[in-house]
Structure formats: structure tokens, C-alpha cells
């Protein structure tokens, strides 16, 4: 016998939460692929062979990129239909902990941080850095949910406080993908071991910092474009497809550096021109605009 639906039952909208589920599924398989690489690369003798694990690590990074795409789509679909909900926000954060917290930290731990332990002769430093990244990412998500639940005021903005965890995961994963592409064994990583470890520590701190990053939430279907912008976007897509091993690192690095170095020195007017494109000229009524903002 079916029980009547409780009035307190949270609203679950299909398409946005389906995208979030895709995010979570990709994160799960990324973690699974990393474990498969560890098992394949570690025979019974215990000698770790990085070359055997490399295809599994590359697959895990591509799955993390796919999670970033799903994470982008779920918010866009929710705002497009005016279907943002507390359930979707919480579900998205739980998925993000797996896809952008656990998966990148496990990848970095085995591919970079454990070799760092051997190079420095400091036991457990790899686990500490990996755990710190997950911890800071979870705190960042919890803070975001608290801020999102607060009533909006006249001076509220849509900026992110601290770098979003999907961008942090994409940045560190894209750099790792680039290094793995050019280095076939962990013995050849050289100074990159220290660079990637330092980047992971910096991202951990940046996630819980007060550095403001743009959300670009106002970029949508009604955003006006120009022929020049369309051509530039098409060229970026083509270059990304052609240089798939390089361009993700370039794009994620551009976002990280924009919020950290460039944005603080831009005037408010310039920031608005970059982050809040013109939506005038839309034939939609003003009420519809507000529901998708």
C-alpha cells in the first residue's frame, strides 16, 4: 500500500539530478580505475611498474574531466528551468566529494606523492597531502552550502569564495595528465614531483581561502554573442581537440590565475563585462530572466 507523499519530501528534479548522478558515476569509475592501475602495476614481488598503470591513470583523469562536464551541466539545467532545490545542492556536494576530492587525491597519491616520499625520505608525507586536499575540499563544499542557504541581500553577489573544487580537481588532474603524457615512468618525473605536490598543497589552501572566483552563472542561452566571440570559441574547441593533452591544463590554469592574480586588479566595470555578458535583446519577459539568474 502506497503511503501519501509527505509535504516535507524534498523536490527532486529529473534532468539536473541526472547530470549530478553522471558526475558521481564518473567519479566512482575514476577511483576504480586508479585501484585497477595500482593492482596491475604492483606484482607479487612488490616492484611498482608505473608503465603498466599509466593507461588506467589516464582513463581516471578523463573520467574526472567528464565529471567536470556533468557538474557544469547540472547547475545550468537547474537554473535554465528554475528548478534549483536544496536536494540538488546537497546531492551535488556529495558527488563532488567523490569525483573532485577522493579521485584526484588517490591519483596524486600513487602517481606523484608516494614517489615524493621516497625522494624526501619522509614517511607518510604523501598521505598527509592527499588527506589535506580532501579535507579542504569537503570544508569548501560545506561552506558553499551554508552560504547558498542564507537569504540573499541587495549587495549579494554570485562569486565563489575560494576556488571551486571542480576547478581545483581539473587543474591538478590536467597537469598530472600533461606530465604523464610526456613522462613514461615515475623515475623520469624529476622536479615535477615537487611541483605537483606544491600545487596540490596550494590548491588545498586556496579552496578554503577568501579569494573570490567568478561563477559565470549569468552566461546562458540568452547571452548575446558576436561573430568574433563565436569564431574564437570555435578555434578554442578545435585546438583543444587537437592538443587534448595540453589544452585542459591551459584552460584550467587560466581560470586559476584569473581569480588569483588578474581579477583583483580589474575594475568593477571590466569584471562585469567579462563575467556578466550582455543579455539585452532577449525577447523573453523580465520575470523569466530573474528565474534563471
CA distances from 41 to 45, 46, 58, 106 (A): 11, 9, 14, 15
Instruction: Compute the average pLDDT of residues 236-251.
Output: 91
Average pLDDT of the residues of the chain: 82
d(CA 289, CA 262): 29
Phi, psi of 47 (to 5 degrees): -85, 115
Residue 49 has pLDDT above 70, yes or no: no
CB half-sphere exposure, 271, CA atoms < 13 A: 16
Task: Please report which confidence band the pLDDT of residue 279 belongs to, taking 50, 70 and 90 as the band edges.
Answer: low
Instruction: For 251-275, give one letter per residue: b (16+ CB within 10 A) or e.
Output: bbeebbeebbeebeeeeeeebeeeb
Position 176 scores a pLDDT of: 87
* pLDDT number for residue 21: 95
Is the model more confident about 83 or about 237?
A: 237
Percent of the chain clearing pLDDT 90 (strictly above): 39
Question: What is the model's pLDDT at position 44?
Answer: 55
pLDDT, one tens digit per residue, over 117-146 is 777 887 788 888 999 999 999 999 999 989
The conformation of residue 82, written as its DSSP 8-state character, comes to T
Q: Which residue has the higher pLDDT, 90 or 50?
A: 90
Q: What is the pTM of this model?
A: 0.84
- b/e code 44-77 from CB counts within 10 Å (16+ = b): eeeeeebeebbebbbbbbbbbbbbbebbebbbbb
In the chain, % of residues over pLDDT 70 = 82
The CA angle 115-204-19, to the nearest 5 degrees, is: 100
For the segment 190-243, what is each residue's pLDDT rounded down to a tens digit? Answer: 778 888 889 999 999 999 999 999 887 776 666 676 788 788 889 999 999 899
Distance between alpha carbon 274 and the CA centroid of its chain, in Å? Answer: 21
| Helix residue ranges per DSSP H, the chain | 14-41, 50-80, 86-96, 103-108, 114-120, 125-149, 165-182, 192-207, 227-242, 247-257, 268-275, 286-292
Residue 177 DSSP SS3: helix
User: What is the residue extent of each domain of the chain?
Assistant: 14-149+157-278
Amino acid at each position: 500500500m502506497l503511503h501519501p507523499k509527505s509535504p516535507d519530501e524534498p523536490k527532486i528534479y529529473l534532468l539536473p539530478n541526472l547530470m549530478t548522478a553522471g558526475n558521481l558515476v564518473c567519479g566512482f569509475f575514476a577511483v576504480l580505475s586508479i585501484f585497477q592501475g595500482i593492482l596491475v602495476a604492483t606484482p607479487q614481488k612488490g616492484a611498482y611498474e608505473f608503465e603498466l598503470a599509466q593507461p588506467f591513470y589516464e582513463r581516471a583523469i578523463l573520467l574526472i574531466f567528464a565529471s567536470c562536464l556533468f557538474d557544469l551541466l547540472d547547475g545550468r539545467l537547474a537554473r535554465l528551468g528554475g528548478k534549483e532545490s536544496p536536494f540538488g545542492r546537497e546531492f551535488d556536494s556529495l558527488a563532488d566529494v567523490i569525483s573532485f576530492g577522493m579521485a584526484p587525491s588517490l591519483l596524486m597519491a600513487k602517481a606523484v606523492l608516494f614517489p615524493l616520499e621516497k625522494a624526501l625520505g619522509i614517511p607518510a608525507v604523501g598521505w598527509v597531502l592527499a588527506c589535506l586536499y580532501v579535507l579542504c575540499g569537503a570544508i569548501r563544499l560545506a561552506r558553499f552550502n551554508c552560504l547558498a542557504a542564507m537569504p540573499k541581500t541587495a549587495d549579494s553577489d554570485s562569486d565563489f569564495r575560494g576556488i571551486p573544487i571542480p576547478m581545483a580537481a581539473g587543474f591538478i588532474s590536467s597537469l598530472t595528465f600533461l606530465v604523464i603524457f610526456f613522462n613514461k615512468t615515475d623515475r623520469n618525473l624529476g622536479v615535477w614531483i615537487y611541483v605537483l605536490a606544491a600545487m596540490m598543497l596550494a590548491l588545498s589552501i586556496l579552496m578554503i581561502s577568501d579569494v573570490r572566483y567568478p561563477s559565470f552563472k549569468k552566461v546562458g542561452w540568452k547571452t548575446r554573442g558576436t561573430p568574433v566571440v563565436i569564431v574564437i570559441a570555435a578555434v578554442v574547441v578545435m585546438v583543444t581537440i587537437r592538443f587534448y593533452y595540453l589544452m585542459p591544463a591551459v584552460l584550467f590554469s587560466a581560470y586559476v590565475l584569473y581569480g588569483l592574480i588578474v581579477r583583483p586588479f580589474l575594475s568593477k566595470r571590466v569584471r562585469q563585462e567579462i563575467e556578466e555578458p550582455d543579455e539585452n535583446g532577449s525577447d523573453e519577459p523580465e520575470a523569466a530572466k530573474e528565474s534563471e539568474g
